[in-house]
């Protein structure tokens, strides 16, 4: 059988491979060390608990937090749900109903937007702020939205589609001035950027292991302590695990893997950032030198090191992906049922549907090298040229240029 080459993986914003050392760290906890971390009466339980507590310290250290501030969850989706429902409901209850307003942003992940919609159905008032054309949320926009009823503000650190980094410290300070709590979805940034929970200033941070070379199915919510610790109402009720905030037997092997991945990220984050930025810039330089009419979506520099989001005007992103089986990446559209919807993130930047539907997202990660980037760029240039040559839209676009010049 001839060896079939696997596609070049350029979708690290969707998920990252689990590092081999992380898999090795987890294995004993699938086999001999199978105890329940909540079992207090025997050595199996003690070993599991010790492993979980070590992992808790490792993950906390990655974001400059204290281990006691970390609640393990099944991922960032659950952490976001716990933060939004937990903090909004508690604030409304504790204020006798006076704080019933939640503020977030149109470019957030679905795991924030959908809980916001659910809170609205519970009677909360929800404000979703727009962004600048570069994807950044202007602090003034938040300032105008805040009032004495605002219970919670939720803004992500780095965007999963366009990589744009939000000015969290300034936004959190404004929320606090208004007496509101601040949640930050840091699923994309924790493994890629220096993240100091205290300096950044949010009260709550969501993390996900599989975005930083750890296993799928585990994440965390950081609940910062201090004079104004945010009270949360639990979403999952049961055995009272995780300080009563997240009941359910902990997945010990996954927690251990998360800890090992966090340790690895802490050591390699700065070096990775340099390397991924260089690869990203190389990819963009190759594409722009060969192809006219590209639009980079999102801020040119205030973005994740490995992220690039480009609209290839005149070409449908889905058609381009279909023509590139040797590359694993994703388009600027979300496939909800059979219909292709332009990405809500790209629409929030003011991109028309054609520009939004012509976008590809590149997520560069640890496994990529220069040869892969060059190969990917060459394939894309070839296919964009071919598709544009057949595209009536592209003809119109070109004629528009000619008429204007
Ligand atoms: C991946 C991601 C999530 C969801 O995380 P899971 O751990 O897969 O549930 C949430 N927010 C952002 C920004 C993400 O990138």
Q: Which residues contact 216 (CB under 8 A, 6 or more apart)?
A: 15, 18, 75, 209, 210
Distance in angstroms (rounded) separating the CA atoms of residues 236 and 86:
10
pLDDT of res. 303: 96
Helix-then-strand count for the chain, H and E: 13, 15
Give distance in angstroms: CA of 329 to centre of ligand 1: 17
pLDDT of res. 337: 52
Which residue lies with its CA nearest to atom 14 of ligand 1?
A: 187
Domain ranges of the chain: 20-264, 269-404
Counting as low any pLDDT under 50, the low residues of the chain are none
Quick one: which atom of ligand 1 is closest to the CA of 159? 13
Q: For ligand 1, is residue 208 a contact (CB within 6 Å)?
A: yes
Q: Which one is catalytic: 18, 105, 116, 335?
A: 335
pLDDT of res. 274: 97
**CATH number listed for the domain at residues 269-404:** 3.90.1150.10
Give distance in angstroms: CA of 40 to centre of ligand 1: 33
Tell me which of 160, 165, 193, 214 to substitute to probe ligand 1's pocket, judged by most ligand atoms within 8 Å of the beta carbon: 160
pLDDT of res. 226: 78
Distance in angstroms (rounded) separating the CA atoms of residues 212 and 105:
24
pLDDT of res. 309: 97
pTM over 0.85: yes
Two tokens, residue 396: 């119109």
Residue closest to 314 by CA, chosen among 289, 343, 285, 294: 294
**CATH number listed for the domain at residues 20-264:** 3.40.640.10
Q: For ligand 1, is residue 188 a contact (CB within 6 Å)?
A: yes
Which residue lies with its CA nearest to atom 5 of ligand 1?
A: 76
pLDDT of res. 394: 78
Quick one: which atom of ligand 1 is closest to the CA of 156? 13
Q: For ligand 1, is residue 160 a contact (CB within 6 Å)?
A: yes
pLDDT of res. 211: 98
Give distance in angstroms: CA of 97 to centre of ligand 1: 31
Q: What is the pLDDT of residues 160-197, one digit of tens each?
A: 999 999 999 999 999 999 999 999 999 999 999 999 99
Residue 335 appears among annotated catalytic residues: yes
Q: Which residues contact 367 (CB under 8 A, 6 or more apart)?
A: 9, 17
Find where tokens 């992940």 sit: 109
Two tokens, residue 151: 């219970």
Give distance in angstroms: CA of 77 to centre of ligand 1: 6
Q: For ligand 1, is residue 77 a contact (CB within 6 Å)?
A: yes
Q: Which residues contact 359 (CB under 8 A, 6 or more apart)?
A: 297, 309, 310, 311, 312, 317, 331, 332, 333, 343, 346, 351
Buried b (16+ CB within 10 A) or exposed e, 256-274: bbbbbbbbbbbeebeebbe
Q: Decide if 103 contacts 129 (C-beta within 8 A).
A: yes
Quick one: which atom of ligand 1 is closest to the CA of 186? 13
Quick one: which atom of ligand 1 is closest to the CA of 78? 9
The region, left, alpha or beta by phi > 0 then psi within -120 to 50, assigned to residue 104 is beta
Give distance in angstroms: CA of 208 to centre of ligand 1: 6
């Amino acid at each position: 059988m001839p060896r079939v080459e696997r596609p070049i993986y350029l979708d690290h914003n969707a998920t990252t491979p689990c590092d081999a050392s992380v898999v090795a760290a987890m294995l004993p906890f699938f086999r001999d060390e199978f105890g329940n971390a909540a079992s207090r009466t025997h050595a199996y339980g003690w070993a599991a608990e010790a492993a979980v507590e070590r992992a808790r310290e490792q993950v906390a250290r990655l974001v400059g937090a204290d281990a006691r501030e970390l609640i393990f969850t099944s991922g960032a989706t659950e952490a976001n749900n716990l933060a939004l429902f937990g903090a909004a409901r508690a604030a409304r209850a504790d204020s006798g109903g006076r704080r019933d307003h939640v503020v977030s942003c149109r470019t957030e992940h679905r795991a924030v937007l959908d809980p916001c919609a659910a809170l609205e159905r519970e009677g909360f008032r929800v404000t979703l702020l727009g962004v600048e054309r570069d994807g950044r949320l202007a602090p003034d926009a938040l300032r105008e939205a805040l009032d004495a009823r605002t219970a919670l503000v939720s803004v992500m650190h780095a965007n999963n589609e366009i990589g744009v980094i939000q000015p969290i410290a300034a936004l959190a300070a404004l929320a606090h001035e208004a007496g509101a709590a601040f949640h930050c979805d840091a699923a994309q940034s924790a493994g890629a950027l220096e993240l100091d929970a205290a300096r950044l200033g949010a009260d709550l941070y969501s993390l996900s292991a599989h975005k930083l070379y750890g296993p799928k199915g585990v994440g965390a919510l950081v609940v910062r302590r201090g004079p104004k610790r945010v009270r949360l109402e639990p979403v999952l009720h049961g055995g009272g695990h995780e300080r009563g905030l997240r009941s359910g037997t902990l997945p010990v092997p996954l927690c251990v893997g998360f800890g090992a991945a966090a340790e690895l990220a802490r050591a390699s984050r700065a070096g990775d950032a340099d390397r991924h930025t260089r690869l990203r810039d190389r990819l963009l330089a190759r594409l722009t030198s060969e192809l006219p009419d590209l639009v980079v979506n999102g801020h040119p520099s205030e973005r994740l090191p490995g992220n690039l989001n480009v609209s290839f005007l005149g070409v449908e992103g889905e058609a381009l992906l279909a023509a590139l089986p040797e590359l694993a990446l994703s388009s600027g559209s979300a496939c909800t049922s059979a219909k292709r919807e332009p990405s809500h993130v790209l629409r929030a930047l003011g991109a028309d549907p054609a520009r939004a539907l012509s976008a590809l997202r590149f997520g560069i990660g640890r496994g990529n090298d220069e040869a892969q980037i060059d190969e990917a760029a060459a394939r894309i240039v070839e296919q964009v040229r071919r598709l544009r040559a057949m595209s009536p839209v592209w003809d119109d676009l070109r004629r528009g240029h000619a008429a204007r010049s």
